[in-house]
Structure 1
Amino acid sequence: MDVATGVTGGGDGFREKIKENCTACGRCTASCLLLQEIGEAPLNIAGRGPTIEEAFSCNLCELCAAVCPEDLSPAGMFAAKRIEAVANGEFPIYDYRYLFPDRELNICKLYREKYNIDYNDLPIDQKGEAAFFPGCTMLTYAPAITRAAFNHLQELWPYISLLTDCCGKPLYQMGLKERGENYTGYIKKKLKGLGVRVLITACPNCFYQLRAELAPAGIEVRTIYEIWEDGKAGTSLITVHDSCPDRHEGIFARQVRGVLEQLGYQRVEMEHHGTTTFCCGSGGQVSHFRPDLAEALISRRLEEAKNTGVGILVGYCLSCVLNFARISTGIKVRHALDLLLGLDEDYHEIKERVRALFSGPEGEENWRRVMAE
């Protein structure tokens, strides 16, 4: 995984490889809504060069690479175009600065501020061997899970610390390569200063973003599921949505299924799962760049979930869970940790609560603050 692009490989070599090896077989187009919209094979797109609009419409989910018999990655080509466009000032990326995790105030921090979500009673950024890294989405929109998971981990590591940072992946996905590298450097320095040797992650984005970066520093990145002990037994019929970052290695997919199976949950798989999983609509920040395309991705995935006939759709990436939960389909949408911890959080209103932050006179002031230079 190249953290500069968020996909396998790196640089504009993606385009050259596609030009040299793409057979225009159509497998990627059959799976990808964006390629269907463009109406051209990757071979043609690589030949002329992707447009900026195409690049920022790609959700960087890598399904194209997963189904390609030649192991090519149109997503990598689009990611490289993002970096080029941002570096050349051809795309107004700073219009989206409310997403930047390295800013003093961003949308996640504003949400926690306005809805009184903090963790000041927990040991934040304390020195010690182990630390829990929930990720910015879980910290912000699932405080009950964050706290319960931390308490569970404290039984294994009594002196474990809580880290409230973002992994920095949004910066890389938005084409801000240098800014992303600077942020990654900050995370490395912080962890080394705290003496952290084991970093426990709950988010697949954080896990894959940080694992390779922290290994040279002697910091082991592990998932919360590989060390899970006990849990709330259940007998419900479920289906599991796999997260795109986990597509190639399937670490979370195997661990989550294994733990839930041990607890008694019965599973029905969607047609596209594991390597061929469909994106939830949040990949590559597409919900901000192309909300119409994101909606189509969400609808496609929920239709597959409905076709399984199960009662619960389970995700292990909270961004996926939030996307699915806001649309009423008759299926409960829960995070895997909800099931393991015996929680029953309803995420249906979260997106509306975010939008409410920017409504009315107070919303105008909130927007001014979060966009302030």
Structure 2
Amino acid sequence: MRSQKVIKNPPEFCIDCGACTKHCEFLTKYDINLLDFSKRKDLAFNCFLCDKCYAVCPKDISGNEIALKHREQIKKPFRYLNFLKSPYLYANNSAKKSRELVFFGCNFPGFLPRTTRKIIEIFEPLGIDFSIDCCGKPLFEGQGQFDRTKAHLNELFAAKGVETLILACPNCYHFLKDKIDIKIKTLYEKFEEFGLNHEIKEEAHMFYPCPERIHKPIFETFKKYVPNYKTSFTDVNCCGLGGLAKSNEPQIAADYPQKLKDKNLPNLYTYCATCCGNFAKNGVQNIKHIATVMTDVNESPNTNYFKNVLSLKFYKRNRK
């Protein structure tokens, strides 16, 4: 795997080496490579979009890009997803002016409600407001649509006078970084300013979320505080919720958490709330989110998702 990858080539560059198939359960199941996949529009929603194929491809071909191009042409309706995310049903925004804004996304409050509240309590006295909202990634992956969400977010940020967005979710971070014009910052960079980051001394078996498959800019912002981290899950491509593929590939989706359980390692860490919550729902033990440890909340993933997001939808800000 070459960390300097920046270009994604068309599938016609394929040399039929088999590396992508070898490292992807989805491609293995259908006995295809990325060139074959580019001709299989019927499998557009069977790909988890983890891009492990791109990581191992000597010709820098991305299955993620192939799948998204297929999906653009199919235009699957995803009626429930539209109802839930456009606009986000459990959003919590305010008209308060805030030059910096903590953007939690959807799943962080859903799986880490106590940590969400603690972060709000830390930032609120400093005049930093928060937003619980959808970044637009799920609908973009389903239908290629982002214009409506982009307009909503730009209107929100402009009305609040936001200059810097502090992102708690790696999916939001990587999705929005080249789609909005304001400065972005990771939650851990802001923690660093407040002196909240502290050393995790135990051996930490790190699970990297899909968007940090190649480059790891978020991990780099707190890496020095996890000196004993171990890259222990190179054979686990996804938590099982990536790419809207779970309904089409339930067995593959279930196999990913099972691989973590089979390893039977202590002290599992990630910095993606979606991964954290899905692993917990599938019986993975000892899974910890970096943010909950850094804030000393030490919250186990809470799987009462809808109860949590509903509660935080009505979270009251301090009026002062």
Interval of TM-score (by shorter of Structure 1 and Structure 2): 0.7 to 0.9
Q: TM-score, normalised by structure 1?
A: 0.73
**Correspondence for 1:227 among 190, 196, 204:** 190
Equivalent residue, structure 1, for 2:128: 160
* Cα separation, 2, equivalents of 1:303 and 1:245: 24
Equivalent residue, structure 2, for 1:297: 256
Does residue 79 of structure 2 align to residue 94 of structure 1?
yes
Equivalent residue, structure 1, for 2:244: 285
Equivalent residue, structure 2, for 1:40: 32
Q: 1:134 to 1:37 in 2, by over 3 A?
A: same
Letter in 2 for 1:43: L
Structure with greater contact order relative to length (CA < 8 Å, sep ≥ 6): 2
Q: 1:124 to 1:233 in 2, by over 3 A?
A: farther
* Cα separation, 1, equivalents of 2:35 and 2:199: 50
Q: 1:302: how far off?
A: 4.1
Letter in 2 for 1:159: G
Report the 3-state secondary structure (helix = DSSP H, G, I; strand = E; otherwise coil) of the residue aligned with 2:205. strand
Q: Equivalent pairs: percent with the same residue?
A: 24
Equivalent residue, structure 2, for 1:339: 293
Q: How many residues align?
A: 300
**Correspondence for 2:97 among 118, 123, 127:** 127
Does residue 136 of structure 2 align to residue 136 of structure 1?
no
Report the 3-state secondary structure (helix = DSSP H, G, I; strand = E; otherwise coil) of the residue aligned with 2:288. strand
Contact 1:134 / 1:202 at 8 angstroms: preserved in 2? yes
Contact 1:225 / 1:259 at 8 angstroms: preserved in 2? no
Report the 3-state secondary structure (helix = DSSP H, G, I; strand = E; otherwise coil) of the residue aligned with 1:248. coil
Equivalent residue, structure 1, for 2:314: none
Equivalent residue, structure 2, for 1:23: 15
Report the 3-state secondary structure (helix = DSSP H, G, I; strand = E; otherwise coil) of the residue aligned with 1:226. helix
Q: 1:166 to 1:232 in 2, by over 3 A?
A: same
* Cα separation, 2, equivalents of 1:21 and 1:94: 36
Q: 1:150 to 1:128 in 2, by over 3 A?
A: same
Report the 3-state secondary structure (helix = DSSP H, G, I; strand = E; otherwise coil) of the residue aligned with 1:199. strand
* Cα separation, 2, equivalents of 1:127 and 1:214: 19
* Cα separation, 2, equivalents of 1:167 and 1:67: 28
Q: 1:164 to 1:230 in 2, by over 3 A?
A: closer
Report the 3-state secondary structure (helix = DSSP H, G, I; strand = E; otherwise coil) of the residue aligned with 1:225. helix
1:6-50 alpha-carbon deviations (Å, 9 max, x no partner): xx889xxx7xx21x210110111111100001102222333xx21
Contact 2:111 / 2:274 at 8 angstroms: preserved in 1? no
Q: TM-score, normalised by structure 2?
A: 0.84
**Correspondence for 1:327 among 262, 274, 282:** 282
Q: 1:152: how far off?
A: 2.9
Q: 1:125: how far off?
A: 4.0
Letter in 1 for 2:130: L
Equivalent residue, structure 2, for 1:51: 41
Letter in 2 for 1:94: R
- Which structure 2 residue ranges, 5 or more long, are not aligned? 1-5, 311-320
Q: 1:38 to 1:246 in 2, by over 3 A?
A: same
Equivalent residue, structure 1, for 2:140: 172
Task: Map 1:189-268 onto structure 2 (within 5 A).
Answer: 189-215=155-181, 219-228=182-191, 229-231=195-197, 234-261=200-227, 266-268=228-230
Which has the higher mean CA deviation after the structures are superposed, 278-287 or 30-39?
A: 278-287
Does residue 118 of structure 2 align to residue 148 of structure 1?
yes
* Cα separation, 1, equivalents of 2:71 and 2:187: 32
